[in-house]
A and B are shown apart, each in its own frame.
Chain A
Amino acid sequence: MDCRTARLLLDFARPLATELEESDGEALATHLAECPTCGALRRTERRLDDHLGRAMLAVLVPDGLRERVLGKLAAQRDSWYRRRLLIWGTGAAAAAAIVVGLSLTFLAHKPVLDMVTARAIANRPLPDRSEEVGAWFGDAGLEGPPQFEYARLTNCEWASFQDHRLPMLEFRKGNEWARVYIVTEGQFDLKALKATQPDASGRAVMIDVLEHPTKPGVAYIVKYTGGVLPAFFYRDTGPAT
């Protein structure tokens, strides 16, 4: 091997990442052992590389990095599975809505609250205008409480009530709120629910049950503050406050 070839190959003969064929590596080693110029060049290169390489790798790793990375990955997995459930739920809801629609035809106006459908509704964006709420519910075969003033509707979500997941509508008036959970007959002992309990700030939270005025089987559990449920109603169905 001549000096020119040896210098070309030198770059590729790194201790941990050699890219030379075995025969080239051996020929190079022989040349380096015999040629003082190339041998010295090789030693200088290695000396510089070792010196800078050690400095390059000397990075302090912060305490707890591994745990923080694993924590972040776990959070990402959780959120991914939650999103999957939501997507599967919405897909199932679309299928269920068709079934519900057909059932409604056969049951001749008997209202059916399908929980999967309800979940899909709860995750849909709120309509901008209160008058659209009725149509929005109606599309999926659900009935919101007709007494309420829908201009006061501030939130609609899937909420937890006594370990059940229920579609929940939240209405607000000033500092007071009312949360309406939509339930079907048989889900709860509705009579036993009526009660008063304090909320986190010590205010009295009333629990009341409303039945749909015309549709049997549809009921609403209402948790509310302020002591006057009709305050959240249309003015023509309750006392103005």
Chain B
Amino acid sequence: MGLPGSQRSVQQLVEEFYLPLYRYAYRLAGSSGDAEDLTQEAFCKAQLQMTQLRDPKRAKAWLFSILRNAYLHRARSQRLHRQVPLDSVGDLPEPLPDPLPEVEPERLQQALNELDEVFRTPVILYYFEDFSYRDIAEQMDLPIGTVMSRLARAKAYLRTRLLQPGVEALAEGPRRANDGL
């Protein structure tokens, strides 16, 4: 494998994207150790594959996609997450509590960990805000409709789990979420 990335161009990518990339890795993997390993791995792979980045404006999406592949590669050998059947997601109460309850960081991460990766990735990318549905669909190599459907269910799960008083994990065991698509 070649090393076509000049030191300067790779360093620029690090300066610009190491923070969002680490945060994404943390939300995907659920621990700071794994997040740091994934961040380093993603930049190292990027350094080796710089010629694949033809449009510098796509650099962030490209790096995120490298990181997700690295994560999936690891996750295949370690089924770490308990996953919930999203059929059991209830509706949010109307009206919503005002103010909305504070979201504790650990509870948010726990709720994300309970989601199958096919739901977790779109909802994380969605909340990173500058990823469009098209971007997310490209990252996951899925039709936009599928992404939107998964996203809607993942968002509903997080909202019910985190914003509805008295709701704890819906997971009962290490079952794979049924995406029903």
Specify which chain B residues have a CB less than 8 angstroms from the CB of A11 in the assembled complex.
133, 148
Task: Let me know if B22 and A61 touch, CB within 8 A.
Answer: yes
Q: Is the CB of B22 within 8 A of A59?
A: yes
Q: Which residues of A are found within 8 Å of B135, using beta-carbon distances?
A: 17
- Interchain CB contact (< 8 A) of B23 among A15, A16, A44, A59: A59
Q: Is B124 an interface residue (CB 8 A)?
A: yes
A53 vs B128: C-alpha distance in the bound complex, in angstroms? 7
- Asked if A77 is an interface residue, CB under 8 A from chain B, the answer is yes
B158 and A72 contact, CB distance less than 8 A:
no
Indicate whether A70 sits within 8 Å of B128 (C-beta atoms), given known contacts A11-B133, A48-B96, A65-B22.
no
Give, as a whole number of angstroms, the nearest-CB distance from A81 to chain B.
Answer: 8
Q: Does B3 contact A (CB under 8 A)?
A: yes
In chain A, what residue has the closest Cβ to B130? A16
Please report the total number of B residues contacting A with Cβ < 8 Å: 42
Contact A56 B133 (CB under 8 A): no
| Contact indicator per residue, chain B 107-135, by CB within 8 Å of chain A (1) or not (0) | 01000000000000000100111111111
Determine if A47 and B22 form an interchain contact, defined as CB atoms under 8 angstroms apart. Answer: no
CB <8 Å contact, B43 and A72: yes
- Residue in B15, B47, B130, B163 whose beta carbon sits within 8 Å of that of A76 in the complex: B47
Q: Given A17-B129, A73-B14, A77-B7, do A51 and B40 touch, yes or no (CB 8 Å)?
A: no
Tell me whether chain A's interface is mostly helix, strand or loop, or mixed.
helix
**Complex interface bits, B136-179 against A, C-beta within 8 A gives 1, otherwise 0:** 00000000000010000001001100110000000000000000
User: Does B51 make an interface contact (CB < 8 A)?
Assistant: no
A77 to B8, CA, bound (A): 12
B interface footprint on A1-39 (CB within 8 Å = 1, 0 otherwise): 000000000011011111100000000000000000000
**Across the interface, do A58 and B105 meet the contact criterion of CB distance under 8 Å?**
yes
Are B108 and A19 interface neighbours, CB within 8 A? no
B62 at the A/B interface (Cβ < 8 Å)? no
Q: Does A80 count as interface, using CB distance less than 8 angstroms?
A: yes
Evaluate contact between B43 and A73: CB separation under 8 angstroms.
Answer: yes
How many Å lie between the Cα of A70 and that of B124 in the bound state? 26
What is the chain A residue whose CB lies nearest that of B133? A19
A17-B130, A69-B14 known; A61 and B47 CB under 8 Å?
no
Query: Is B19 at the interface (CB under 8 A from chain A)?
Result: yes
CB A40 to nearest CB in B, in angstroms, measures 10
Top 3 closest pairs, chain A to chain B, by CB? A55-B103, A56-B127, A17-B132
Additional A-B contact list (17), CB under 8 Å, known A48-B100, A65-B22, A73-B14: A11-B133, A11-B148, A16-B129, A16-B130, A48-B155, A52-B155, A52-B162, A53-B129, A55-B105, A55-B108, A55-B162, A65-B39, A66-B14, A66-B15, A69-B39, A72-B43, A73-B43
Enumerate chain B interface residues (CB-CB to A < 8 A): 3, 7, 10-11, 14-15, 18-19, 22-23, 26-27, 32, 35-36, 39-40, 43-44, 47-48, 96, 100, 103, 105, 108, 124, 127-135, 148, 155, 158-159, 162-163
